[in-house]
Amino acid sequence: MQAYERKQLLERVEREGATVGADIPDTIEVQGEEFDLRTFVFEIKRRETVPPGERERVERAKRNLRRERLQRLEAIEDGDISREKGEELAKSIIGIDRALNALESLGPTDLEREQKAQQAADEKRWLSFLKQALGKDDGGAGRRGR
């Protein structure tokens, strides 16, 4: 894989909103074991809150998914892999992110904190869009008025 292809894949998996429209993989290999990820997420998500007996299981799954995500990201960054393998890893990372987002949103929420976080994320996406549209991906240097 060429350096520019690697950079494109890394940008894709780190992009804000990369998980929009992405599917949670049916199964995923985590720590050498097959894990029915989609079934697990939907089973847990079906409930309003995580029951006390399931909390440790959910936290362990999230830790394992984060570890697996990091390993796959490092394989793209450092590995001598083909473009096809890189595409496969990027797709699986986005699927893992989608599952993590679903699992992170479980449990009681602080609506005010959630609203502020959503507003901050919206502002960040808007600024990123403006920078990209205006061709100013240089961190804001050289800003002009209208």
Q: Provide the pLDDT for residue 121.
A: 86
What's this model's pTM, rounded to 2 decimal places? 0.64
Q: Which two tokens stand for residue 143?
A: 């800003």
Per-residue pLDDT tens over the stretch 58-85: 888 888 889 999 998 998 888 788 888 8
Integer Cα distance of 66 and 73 in angstroms = 10
Q: Which two tokens stand for residue 119?
A: 């507003």
121 phi, psi to nearest 5 deg: -65, -40
Per-residue pLDDT tens over the stretch 102-130: 888 775 544 555 677 788 888 888 888 88
Integer Cα distance of 127 and 132 in angstroms = 9
Single-letter amino acid code for the residue at 93: I
Angle between helices 3-14 and 83-104 (to 10 degrees): 10
Q: Which region, left, alpha or beta, applies to residue 89 given φ > 0 means left and ψ of -120 to 50 means alpha?
A: alpha
